[in-house]
Amino acid sequence: MSTGSTDEKMKVLVYSDDAATRAEVIQAIGRRPAADVPLVEIVECATEPKVHQWLGSGEIDVAILDGETQPAGGMGVSRQAKDEVYDCPPICLIIARRDDRWLAEWSKADAVVPQPLEPMVLADTVADLMRRRNSTRLNAK
């Protein structure tokens, strides 16, 4: 478990073609989504190729993907990353409709947060995924 030391950071990727959605996500999770997790370093992406580049780099700790992004939605990006990226980071999928939950399950996302975004729900979800990532890394050592 992380001590949340001031020099420790985890990279969180935020993918959406909508700058307002990215800003809303970034504001909701803040600099540190919970007291027991490290500070967050945000990586913003608006295009699918850049997301795959970042996810494949091994530098991302948690990814937040907008299911409504065009032309490549977060669900398809999540599914591809989970199938193709070694040690793929945990993925949180933002969905617009409750009926999209089955697609979110198909996408192999680790967590799902519905629109409209509730900042506390998103922050708690991201903090849980950060803890999971830290735990996975500690167990791998």
Domains and CATH numbers, the chain: 9-135 (3.40.50.2300)
pTM of the model: 0.91
**Under DSSP, is residue 103 helix (H, G, I), strand (E, B) or coil?**
helix
Please state at what angle helix 119-140 crosses helix 19-29, rounded to 10 degrees.
70
pLDDT in tens, 4-42: 444 689 999 999 999 999 999 999 999 999 999 999 999
For the segment 68-125, what is each residue's pLDDT rounded down to a tens digit?
A: 999 999 999 999 999 999 999 999 999 998 777 788 889 999 999 999 999 999 999 9
Average pLDDT of the residues of the chain: 91
Helix, strand, or coil (residue 7) = coil
